[in-house]
Structure 1
Amino acid sequence: MSGPGTPAEAALALLLALPGPVFIFDAERRVVMANAAAATRLDMPPDTDLAGASADTLIRRLAHRGHYGPGDPEALAAAVIALDRRQPHRSLLRTGPDRWYEVASVPLPGGGWASVTTDVTEHRLAEKAARDRLRLTDTALRQSPSGIGIYDRDHRLVFFNDAYEALLDLPPGTARVGMDFGQVTDLVIENMPFDAPAQALFQGRRHIDRSRRNQFLRQRPDGVAIRATSQPLADGGFLIVLEDVSQLRAAEDEAKGRAALLDGVLAALPHGVCVYGPDRRLRLVNAAFRDLVGDSEVRIGEHLLELIRRREAAREYADRQDPEEIFRRQFDFAREPTTRRRADGRVLTGRTAPLPDGGHISVVSDVTALHRAEAEAQRRADLLQAMMESMRHGVCLFDAGRRVVAANALACELTGLTREELAPGALLDDLGRLQLSRGLLGDPAEAEALVRARAGQPVRHDRFTRRARDGRVIEVSTDPTPDGGFVRVYTDVTAERQVLAGIEQARIAAEEASFAKTRFLATMSHELRTPLHAVIGFAEALQNDPGPENVKEFAGTILEAGRELLALIDAVLAVAQMGSGRLQVETRPLHLPSVLDSIARQLRGPAEAAGLTLTLDPLPALPRATAEERRLRQILLSLLNNAIKFTPAGGAIHLAARALDDGQVEVSVTDNGIGMAPEQLGQAFEAFVQLEGSHDRRYGGSGLGLYLARALAEAMGAALTLDSARGAGTTARLILKVSASPASPAPAA
C-alpha cells in the first residue's frame, strides 16, 4: 500500500471527489470502495459506508431507481449483472427526457472492476442543438430562393441547392458535387441560348480572383435579372450566391421613373418647394421657389438658420421678424400657414411638414391674388354688414343646412339671443330650443309645440307674430333664397299695433260716443219731460183754477220741478265744460265736519221720506281737506242721492270720514242697497249710463251723477272709488288731500 501523499492516494482522493457515482468491486463482486455520489445515487445518506455490499444488490437497487433508464427494472438489472467484467464496457443511459449518463466499467487487476458514471447531459444537448442547427441550416440553404454554391480550395463544388441550378438556367440534376468551377461554367455556356456577349462574359469569369469579393449582374434573354456574388471562405474556398433581382431592378427603374416624374412635377409646380435634411441644410429647391424669392440667392447645402438671417438682413419682407423665432416656427408642424408680405407687395404663405428621414419640407405659395380677393370680399362683407346694421329690421340669413350665415344686431335684440349665440354656423333648431328655454316665445306650451312642429321641416314663405317678454310685438317673416337657404326678417310692430289699437279704440269710442249721444238724448228727453210736464200741468191748473187754496201747493211743485230742471241743466253744462277743458275749481282748506253735518241735515228729510235712515257717523279729529266747498257738496250730494235712490225702504245710509295713514282724508258713503256686480263698477262712472237700461226701468236719473262726481273729484286732485257687490250694498270712497292747517276738532256729542 502506498504511503500518505503518494500518487495512489491522490488518485483515490480524485475518485472520491468525482461528482458522478464511483464503485470499486473485488473479484467476489463486493464493494471495496464507493464515493459519496454513489450513496446519493442509491438514495442513501452521503456518509453511508457501502464497503462489502454485493454488486448484484446494488445493481438491482439502481435499476429500480431508474439508473438504467425506462423498462423492466429486473430485466435491466439482469442484463447489467450478466456483463463480463473482465472486459471494459461503456454505455450511454437516458434516465429522463433530458438526462443522459455515460457508465464505464474498467477491469482491475485481481478480477475486480471499477464502475464510473458521468453526467453527459450538457454535452448531449449541445450535440443535439448543433445537429439541429446544422439541419436547419441545410434546410434553409436548400429552401432559400437564392442560389447557393460552395466550392472548396480546389474550386470543386461541395454544396449547392436547387435554386443554384435554376438560376444558372441548368436543367435539374445537371450539376453534381465534385465538379470543378470550370466544368460548371461549361455546363452554363452549353445550356445558354445563343448570346455571344453573355458567353464571353462567362468565359472571362473562369480566371477571376476568388480570394476577393466580386459581384456581377446579368440580364437573361427572358428578362430575368441575376445578381451573382462571389465571397471568399476561410478555408480557401469560395461561396457563390445567385439572386433573382428582377423585381428589385423593376423597382429601381420605377423609382427612377418616379424620381424623374417628381422632378418634373416640382419643376412644373407653381408653388415653391424647399427640402431640408435632418442637419437643417437645404437639399433641394425648385424653380418656382427661386422665382418667388426673386433676386435672393438660395444655395444648396446652406443651413436654414443662416439662410433666414441673410434674407431678413436683406429686408425681403415688409415686416421685420426675429430670425431665431422664424427658425423655431419652421418645426411647429401643427401651426396654421404663415403669411407675410414681401417688399415688392406680393403676399406669400408658407407651411412646413416633417419628412421620414428627420428633415422637413417647406412649401411657399404666392397668394397675392387670393389675398386681394379676400380683402375685397371682406370689404364687401363689411359693407353688407353695415347695410344690415343700418336696417330698421332684424335680418338673419340661413343656408340650406339651416345654419346662420349672417345676422345684424337688431336680429339679436329682437330674438333675445346674443351675438355669440347667433354667430355664423349656429343651427336654427338649436336657436329655437334656446329661445324656448328662456321663455322668449310666449306661452310655454304653445311655444314648445310650435318648436317641435317646425324642427327639421322644410322652410316656406311664412309670416307670424309673437309677443316678447317686455311686451313688444315682433313680426317674423321667412322667405326662401335661390340657393336653398332662407332669410328671416324680424320687425318690431309694437308701435304699429299700438296705432292700430288706438284707431280701434277711437273707433269704439266714436261708436260709444254716438251711442252715448243717442242714449243722452233719450235719457234727457225723459228726464226733461217729467219736470216740464209738472210745470206745464200745474201752470194750467193755476190758470184754470186760480183759487188761493191751490196756489201755494201748485207753486211749490212748479218750483221743485224748476229746480230739478236747473240741476239737470247745470249737470249738462258741467259735462260740456269738461269736454271743452274749461271746468275749473278753486280749492282751499275746508273744515270737513261742518260740511258733512250740513249735507247730512240737508238730505235727512228726503231719506226719511224714502223710508231710510241717514246717519253721520261720529267724526274723529280730521285735518283740513283741500277742496272747493261747492264742488265737494255737489259730489257728496250726488253720492247720497244715489244711495237714497238705490236703497229699498227700511235701509240705512252712513256718512263717515277718517284720516288715513298716508296723510290724506277719506270721506265714505255706505248703503245696504241693491249694489252692483263687479263687472258694472267700471261702467258706473261713464256719462249717461243707466245700469238698468230697459224702458220700464225702476230708477230715474240722467246717468251723469257718478260721472260728474269722479270728474269733479279728479279736478280737485281727489280720487273717487266704489266697492260694491250685488245685493250687498255699495260704499263710495272719496280720498281728499289735506292742507298744512291744524286738525279740525270733532263735533260735540
Structure 2
Amino acid sequence: MTCRLEQAEAALQLVLAMPGAVVVYGAGGEVLLANAAAAAMLAMPPGASLAGMTAADVTRRLAELGFYGPGEREAQLRRALDADPAASHRRLLCATDGRWYEMAFLPLPGGRRAMVTTDITQYRQAEIAAWERLRLTDAALRQNPSGIGIYDREMRLMLHNDAYESLLNVAPGSLRIGMSFDEVTDAVISGMAGDAEGQAGFEARRHVDRSQSNQFLHLRSDGVAMRAISQPLSDGGFMVVLEDVTPLHAAEAEAKRRADLLDAVLAALPHSVCVYGADSRLLMVNAACRRIFKDDEVAIGDHLLDTLRRREEGGIFMDRRDPEETFRRRFNFNRPPVIRMCADGTVLTGITAPLPDGGHISVISDITALHRAEFEAQRRAALLQVMMDSMRHGICLFDRDCQVVAVNRLACTLTGLSEQELAPGAALEDLRRIQLERGQFGAGQAGVDVFKWRAQRVAPNLEAYTRVTADGRCIEVSTDPTPDGGFVRIYSDVTAERRAVAEIERARIAAEEASSAKTRFLATMSHELRTPLNAVIGFSEALVDEVDPQNVQEFARTILEAGRHLLSLIDEVLAVAQAGAGALQIELRPLYLPSILEGILRLMRPAAEAAEVSLALEPLPALPRANADERRLRQILLNLTANALKFTPMGGSVTLGASLPQPDVVEITVSDTGIGIAADQLERAFEPFVQLETSHARRYGGSGLGLYLARALAHAMEATLVLDSERGSGTVARLRLKAVKP
C-alpha cells in the first residue's frame, strides 16, 4: 500500500510539475484537479485553489482574461460551453495580449474530462504545489494519537492506553491488565456484532506468530481505518501499535484514483512527456513520445544520453548535433524552447523543467502546423513588402497607438527618415521631432508652426495636405483610417507635377505676352510704315505741281529717304520671317574684322553726329580672322550700333571694340552710356515683337525686331550674342565668333 501511495504521489507530482495548465473536471463539471499553471493562467492569487469552481466558472474566467481573443464575452462563453464534453477536441486561441495557446479537451473514464492548455508562445515552467499539501498531511498523521498495547511472553496484556481501547472499538474499561491476548481478541470480536468480515479477520489473526514483525489493516463498520503493527520485544513479548489511518487510507484511495486519472491524462496528451530521475534514467513516458519520435525502443530505465545518441544516429533530425552537447544543454532550465526540424518535415519544440528529487521532466510538442502557418505568414509578409516597395508612392502603416507597423523604402526617402528610424514600433511623435530637426517641415519658425499644427492632429482622420521638404521637394501626404483603429499614410512626390503646372502657367503668361507683343508690334509697325508712306505720298503730291527745280530736288531726296527707310523695315520683317522658318542663307568664310568695324564706324558716324553722340572705335589688338557671313555680320553690328545710338542721350558715347578672350573665340563689343536695361528685362529684349517701352507716344522708335534679328543671325553663324546692362548704367552687347586657326 505504501508503494501505491508513493506511486500516486509521484504521478501527482508529475502532473503538477507540467509546464502546461491542466484542469480535470468531474462528471458534473466540478473541478477535481488543477495544477499551479492553471491557477496562474486564471490569474488566481498565489496559493489559491480552484476547489469549488466549475467548468463554466473557469471558462468565464478565461474569457474575462481575454484567452478567447476580442469579442463579446457571453458569446465566447456559450461557444466554449456548447462543445461536447464527451468528445476529444482542441482549440488554438489567440489571447488579447497577443499570446497563443493550444487548449485540448480530453475525455476520461467515468464521465470525467481534462483540459490541457499549453502556452506555445513561450513554455513556462510549471510550479509544483503538491509538496505543501503532502507536508501538511504528514504533520497531521504524526499528530494523530496512536493506541499502544504491550503483551508479555505469555501473551498477557501488560500495558495499554485509552487510544488502544478506542481504536479497538471496545467499551472504555473493558480491557484489564493481565487479560490474555485471546480474551482481548474475544472482547473485540464480541463488539463487532454484524461485522462478520471483521470478526473473521480478527479470528484469523489470533494465531499470528508474534515473534515476527507484522501488520494489518482493519476497516471498522463505522468507517474508521485502523492499522495494527505487531513488533516483538526483547523479553519475548510483543507490542501492538494501533493507528487511526482513516485519512491515510482515504488518501491512498484518492491517490489510486488520481494515479489512474493521471495515467489516462498522460496517455491522451498530444505532447511527448518523459520523466527522468536524478541519474538521467527514464522513469515515465507516455504514448505520444513513441508516436512523435516513431521510437518503440524507448524503455523505462534507459539513460537519456543513450536515447539522444540513438536518435541522432537514426537520422531523425535534419540537422545533426553532438549528443553530449545536447545532453548537457538539457539541464539549462532557463533557456528558451528548442525548435528542431525532423527529416520527415515535422517540427518539434521542447522544454525541460526540474523536479524536486533532482530529476527533470521533458515535454516535446509537435508544432508543425504552427511552424507552417508562421512560414506562410512570413512569406506573405515578404511578398507584401515587395509589393509595397514597388509602389510609386511612399506608404507607412500605423496602429491605434500611432506606432509604425509597416513601411516601404520610398516612404523613408520622402519623409527624410532612415529605415532604422522607421522600424516597426517607432512612435509617430518621435518621428515628427526628427523631421523637425532635419528641416523636413521647413526652415525656421515656419517649420516649427507646421510641427505644432501636425502634433495637434493625432487622431487618424481622413485628410490630405502638402508640405515642402528641406531639399525643396513638394510632398503630398494623405491619411486614411484603418478598421483596427490605426491609419495609413501615403506620401507622393508631386514636385514634377507642381513644376509642370508652374511651367504651363509660365507658358500661358508668355503666350499672352507674345500675343500682346504681336498686337503692339502691329500697332507699332502701322505707325512706323505710315510715317515714311505719308512722306512719300505727301511730297509726291507736292512734286506734281512744283516747278522750282531746287524744291523738286529736295522733295525727290525726301521721297528717296522715306522709301529706303520703308524698304529697311520690310527687310527686317522678311529676315525675321526667314529666321522663324529656318530659311536664313548663311555663307561662312574667314573675315578680317578691323576693316568691317571701320566700315561700320563710317556708316554710322552721320547718325551719331545727328544724335550728338560720340562714336569711336577702340584700338584693336592683333586679331585672327573670324568665321562669319560678312553681310549678316554687318547687319548685326549695324543693328547693335543703331540700337546703342538710339538709347544713348545727347552727350553720351558709343564705343566699338574687339578682343580675344579665348584662343578660339573673338569677341566684338558695342558699348554705350545710355539708359540701360533692368536685369530682369535682358532676355525679353531678344524676344520678337517686344519693345520695352510699349506706349505709342514712346520716346524711341523702332519695330522691336532689331535685337531678335541680331541674335537669330548670330546663332545662324554659330555665334553667341548677350547683353550686359543695368538700369541707368549703359549697355554692352557682346558678340562672340569662332576664330579661324592660322
Task: Tell me the TM-score normalised to structure 1 length.
Answer: 0.64
- Using the TM superposition, give the Cα deviation of residue 147 of structure 1 relative to its aligned residue in structure 2, in angstroms: 8.1
Q: Which has the higher contact order (CA 8 A, sep 6+)?
A: 2
- Using the TM superposition, give the Cα deviation of residue 402 of structure 1 relative to its aligned residue in structure 2, in angstroms: 3.0
Matches within 5 A, 1:438-587: 438-443=438-443, 445-455=445-455, 457-467=458-468, 473-587=474-588
1:653 aligned residue: 654
Measure, in 2, the Cα distance between the counterparts of 1:585 and 1:465.
53
SS of 2:569's partner is: helix
- Using the TM superposition, give the Cα deviation of residue 308 of structure 1 relative to its aligned residue in structure 2, in angstroms: 1.8
For the Cα contact (< 8 Å) 1:723–1:732, is it kept in 2?
yes
SS of 2:543's partner is: helix
- Using the TM superposition, give the Cα deviation of residue 257 of structure 1 relative to its aligned residue in structure 2, in angstroms: 7.3
For the Cα contact (< 8 Å) 1:318–1:341, is it kept in 2?
yes
Measure, in 1, the Cα distance between the counterparts of 2:594 and 2:246.
133
Measure, in 2, the Cα distance between the counterparts of 1:240 and 1:562.
161
Q: Is the counterpart of residue 709 in structure 1 residue 719 in structure 2?
A: no
SS of 1:536's partner is: helix
AA partner of residue 563 (structure 1): R
Q: Deviations over 1:164-184 (max 9, x none)?
A: 99x999xxxx9xxxx9999xx
- Using the TM superposition, give the Cα deviation of residue 357 of structure 1 relative to its aligned residue in structure 2, in angstroms: 4.0
1:637 aligned residue: 638
CA gap of 1:445–1:259, structure 2 versus 1, over 3 A, is farther
- Using the TM superposition, give the Cα deviation of residue 287 of structure 1 relative to its aligned residue in structure 2, in angstroms: 2.5
1:672 aligned residue: 673
Ranges in structure 2 where 5+ consecutive residues have no aligned partner: 1-141, 180-186, 203-207
Ranges in structure 1 where 5+ consecutive residues have no aligned partner: 1-143, 183-189, 203-207, 742-749
Q: Greater CA deviation, 278-287 or 436-445?
A: 436-445
Q: Greater CA deviation, 293-302 or 403-412?
A: 403-412
Measure, in 1, the Cα distance between the counterparts of 2:416 and 2:262.
58
2:290 aligned residue: 290
CA gap of 1:602–1:272, structure 2 versus 1, over 3 A, is same
AA partner of residue 406 (structure 1): A
Measure, in 1, the Cα distance between the counterparts of 2:641 and 2:244.
132
For the Cα contact (< 8 Å) 1:148–1:240, is it kept in 2?
no
- Using the TM superposition, give the Cα deviation of residue 442 of structure 1 relative to its aligned residue in structure 2, in angstroms: 4.6
For the Cα contact (< 8 Å) 2:466–2:475, is it kept in 1?
yes
- Using the TM superposition, give the Cα deviation of residue 213 of structure 1 relative to its aligned residue in structure 2, in angstroms: 11
Measure, in 2, the Cα distance between the counterparts of 1:445 and 1:243.
92
1:604 aligned residue: 605
2:407 aligned residue: 407
Matches within 5 A, 1:179-194: none
Measure, in 2, the Cα distance between the counterparts of 1:662 and 1:442.
48
For the Cα contact (< 8 Å) 1:342–1:348, is it kept in 2?
no
- Using the TM superposition, give the Cα deviation of residue 302 of structure 1 relative to its aligned residue in structure 2, in angstroms: 0.7
- Using the TM superposition, give the Cα deviation of residue 321 of structure 1 relative to its aligned residue in structure 2, in angstroms: 4.4
CA gap of 1:694–1:258, structure 2 versus 1, over 3 A, is farther
CA gap of 1:453–1:706, structure 2 versus 1, over 3 A, is same
Measure, in 2, the Cα distance between the counterparts of 1:331 and 1:627.
97
Q: Is the counterpart of residue 588 in structure 1 residue 628 in structure 2?
A: no
Measure, in 2, the Cα distance between the counterparts of 1:239 and 1:602.
159
1:92 aligned residue: none
Measure, in 2, the Cα distance between the counterparts of 1:280 and 1:220.
45
Q: Is the counterpart of residue 267 in structure 1 residue 267 in structure 2?
A: yes
What value does the CA root-mean-square deviation take over the aligned residues?
5.0
- Using the TM superposition, give the Cα deviation of residue 398 of structure 1 relative to its aligned residue in structure 2, in angstroms: 3.0
Q: Deviations over 1:530-584 (max 9, x none)?
A: 1111121222221231532123322222222222222222222222223223335
Q: Deviations over 1:452-476 (max 9, x none)?
A: 4334701222223445566554433
CA gap of 1:579–1:149, structure 2 versus 1, over 3 A, is same
Q: Greater CA deviation, 690-699 or 459-468?
A: 459-468
2:10 aligned residue: none
Q: How many residues align?
A: 583
Q: Greater CA deviation, 452-461 or 525-534?
A: 452-461
Q: Deviations over 1:476-526 (max 9, x none)?
A: 332222222223333344444444344334433332232222122111111
CA gap of 1:306–1:564, structure 2 versus 1, over 3 A, is same
For the Cα contact (< 8 Å) 2:146–2:243, is it kept in 1?
no
SS of 1:488's partner is: strand
Measure, in 1, the Cα distance between the counterparts of 2:438 and 2:468.
14
- Using the TM superposition, give the Cα deviation of residue 613 of structure 1 relative to its aligned residue in structure 2, in angstroms: 1.0
- Using the TM superposition, give the Cα deviation of residue 650 of structure 1 relative to its aligned residue in structure 2, in angstroms: 1.4
Measure, in 1, the Cα distance between the counterparts of 2:247 and 2:703.
122
CA gap of 1:250–1:558, structure 2 versus 1, over 3 A, is farther
Q: Deviations over 1:131-185 (max 9, x none)?
A: xxxxxxxxxxxxx989899999x9999xx9xxx99x999xxxx9xxxx9999xxx
2:350 aligned residue: 350
For the Cα contact (< 8 Å) 2:274–2:362, is it kept in 1?
yes
SS of 1:702's partner is: coil
- Using the TM superposition, give the Cα deviation of residue 423 of structure 1 relative to its aligned residue in structure 2, in angstroms: 3.9
AA partner of residue 642 (structure 1): N
- Using the TM superposition, give the Cα deviation of residue 616 of structure 1 relative to its aligned residue in structure 2, in angstroms: 1.5
CA gap of 1:380–1:549, structure 2 versus 1, over 3 A, is same
- Using the TM superposition, give the Cα deviation of residue 361 of structure 1 relative to its aligned residue in structure 2, in angstroms: 2.5
Measure, in 1, the Cα distance between the counterparts of 2:691 and 2:536.
25
Measure, in 2, the Cα distance between the counterparts of 1:274 and 1:579.
97
- Using the TM superposition, give the Cα deviation of residue 298 of structure 1 relative to its aligned residue in structure 2, in angstroms: 2.0
For the Cα contact (< 8 Å) 1:436–1:444, is it kept in 2?
no
Highest CA radius of gyration, 1 or 2?
A: 1
1:738 aligned residue: 739
2:368 aligned residue: 368
Q: Is the counterpart of residue 720 in structure 1 residue 706 in structure 2?
A: no
For the Cα contact (< 8 Å) 2:397–2:407, is it kept in 1?
yes
Measure, in 1, the Cα distance between the counterparts of 2:372 and 2:416.
37
Measure, in 2, the Cα distance between the counterparts of 1:595 and 1:240.
152
AA partner of residue 377 (structure 2): A
AA partner of residue 693 (structure 1): T
Measure, in 1, the Cα distance between the counterparts of 2:372 and 2:308.
27
Task: Tell me the TM-score normalised to structure 2 length.
Answer: 0.65
Aligned-pair identity (%): 62
AA partner of residue 582 (structure 1): A
CA gap of 1:645–1:222, structure 2 versus 1, over 3 A, is farther
CA gap of 1:696–1:219, structure 2 versus 1, over 3 A, is farther
Measure, in 2, the Cα distance between the counterparts of 1:429 and 1:463.
19
SS of 2:477's partner is: strand
- Using the TM superposition, give the Cα deviation of residue 330 of structure 1 relative to its aligned residue in structure 2, in angstroms: 3.0
Q: Deviations over 1:667-696 (max 9, x none)?
A: 322222222333333332222222222232
For the Cα contact (< 8 Å) 2:441–2:450, is it kept in 1?
no
Measure, in 1, the Cα distance between the counterparts of 2:350 and 2:553.
122
